[in-house]
A and B are shown apart, each in its own frame.
Chain A
Amino acid sequence: AKRALATPAIRRLARELGVDIQTVKGTGAGGRVTEEDVRSAVASQVS
């Protein structure tokens, strides 16, 4: 499987927030996962 395209800090953030970054849809350039993407993934998990 291809690994999500995200910077080290975003990967860490996702882990800390309990999000599997592989399941997050990236909205950044070329499908990059952004901080916003991670945070909204958390929000949708909670609701």
Chain B
Amino acid sequence: MVVGEFTTEVDVLVLGAGPGGYVAAIRAAQLGKKVMVVEKAEVGGVCLNRGCIPSKALISAAHRYEEMNHSDDMGLTADGVKVDFSKVQAWKQTVVGKLTGGVGSLLKGNGVELVQGEALFVTPNEVRVYQGNEFNRYKFNHCIIATGSRPIELRAFPFGKRIISSTEALSLPEIPKSMVVIGGGYIGIELGQMYAKFGCQVTVIEGTEQILPLFENEIVRWVQRRLKKDGVTVHTKAKAVSAEQTDTGVTLKYEINGEQKEITADYLLVTVGRVPNTDELGLDQVGIKKNERGLIEVDHQCKTNVENVYAIGDVTAGPALAHKASYEGKVAAEVIAGHNSAVDYKCIPSVVFSDPEIASVGLSETEAKEQGHTVATGKFNYAANGRALSLNANEGFVKVVADKESGIVLGCQIVGPGAPDLIAEMGLAIEMGASLEDIALTIHAHPTLGEMVMEATENALGQGVHTLTK
């Protein structure tokens, strides 16, 4: 075969098999399209291979380990609890394997063809897919760009043996003795706290005033308290300056309150954000518009400025979250199939698998006021919930935010165990336009953590039973 001569024609070509790409591909196939997905690495993308899934697996192992060692309150003591980290890693890898295998079968089962290789646009209707130096051509009627994002690499901290990104941090062969994390966003906090629970000495360097800057201080305080207990040192308003790596460790110079400081650790984990994978796709060649941050510009139907080319997920603006990518994937596929679909959500939940866990959806109290609402809020503490106490989980709260006049729910913030699952109810409530009363009048099973959602709404209405309001 002459290289580059072989041309295939498809209806829908999807670039990238992450949560955006594979969902788009499956939805398009359901709607009767001939679909092909191009993936240069593993099916499942960042989320399944180097993101959500492996990070949550390691976090649960760390939790389990902590509980094995610290359940004496309940009369349970254990001696000589050991961690075999290579087994932890192997288990995590089987979880990843099951899920990526599942995605592979779903693609196949839906008749989606998978092509291994790296895609590059040559014309608005054709890409080359490279495997090494060889390439094939693929013509398409519609294309969905879902090539995701990668960790930002700072010039002063080039990734190497000891300066690592989240990807390497998820696959360390052993628990490091010490680790410095630059960036107190959710990825840095999740991974830092996980290693701390396994006994690693962790220090977080965050530039702004607060770690987890997207969440309110009244929430983050709970996590900070816990981080302290886990032995994590947090430096806020601190600026990482330079680092020197050797074969065995790394020394970081940083500035805090105008003072120069220095810290040495086994690893320096840099989690300061992500950049979209839009720089090596040949987008300029075909005139697909990006903004100054490299994000592809799309309309409410995920259409780019080039006819028949769509973009979804981390390559577009908005929160870089798996569920946002998948939602957009469905919209793009449906629009291609001729449906009048559009990106039309009222809220996207965001969760942090810190200890305690955090979840938030819709507007915070401050945001609701900024948008001109007269606000009613209601709070309920884990410490007053029977199920929470029976789980020995009494740290945290549920807070609901509503428009006072109409009673319509605008937002909810939860900090405490189970928050990522509890928030789903309030996402639905906001989408449905539910009022505080709608939730308060819904019977929640007892004893469950979910009752706190109901009771927080009752408190917002001034009729809470398990809270003294005076």
Which A residues have a C-beta under 8 Å from some C-beta of B?
3, 5-8, 11-12, 15-16, 18, 30, 32
Contact = CB atoms under 8 A, between A and B. Distances in A.
Contacts of A3: 346
B4 interface: no
Given A5-B433, A12-B344, 12 more contacts: A5-B408, A7-B431, A7-B432, A7-B433, A8-B344, A8-B345, A8-B431, A15-B341, A18-B340, A30-B406, A30-B435, A32-B433
B342 interface: yes
Contacts of B433: 5-7, 30, 32
A34 to B, nearest CB: 11
A16 B344 CA distance: 13
Interface in B334-383: 339-342, 344-346
Contacts of B406: 30
Interface string B388-406: 0000000000000000001
B139 to A, nearest CB: 31
In order of increasing CB-CB distance, the 10 nearest A-B pairs are A5-B433, A15-B340, A7-B432, A8-B431, A16-B340, A11-B344, A30-B406, A32-B433, A15-B342, A7-B431
A16 B340 CA distance: 5
B344 A15 contact: yes
Nearest to B371: A2
Contacts of B342: 15
Nearest to A3: B346
B335 to A, nearest CB: 11
Q: Tell me if B's interface is mostly helix, strand, loop or mixed.
A: loop
B322 to A, nearest CB: 19
Interface string B420-451: 00000000000111010000000000000000
A15 B301 CA distance: 12
Chain B, interface size category, equals 10 to 19
B239 to A, nearest CB: 41
7 contacts: A6-B433, A7-B432, A8-B431, A12-B341, A16-B339, A30-B435, A32-B433
Contacts of A11: 344
A32 B345 CA distance: 16
Contacts of B432: 7-8
Interface in B301-344: 339-342, 344
A12 B334 CA distance: 12
A28 to B, nearest CB: 9
Interface in B191-250: none
A11 B406 CA distance: 20
A3 B406 CA distance: 14
B441 to A, nearest CB: 13
A8 B428 CA distance: 9
Contacts of B431: 7-8
A8 to B, nearest CB: 5
Nearest to A29: B435
A16 to B, nearest CB: 5
Contacts of B344: 8, 11-12, 15
B108 to A, nearest CB: 29
Contacts of A5: 408, 433
B148 to A, nearest CB: 26
A6 B346 CA distance: 11
Nearest to A7: B432
A12 B342 CA distance: 8
A8 B344 CA distance: 8
Nearest to B345: A8
Nearest to B431: A8
B425 to A, nearest CB: 15
Interface in B149-202: none
A38 B354 CA distance: 44
Nearest to B342: A15
Contacts of B339: 16
A9 B346 CA distance: 13
Contacts of B345: 8
A27 B432 CA distance: 16
B170 to A, nearest CB: 34
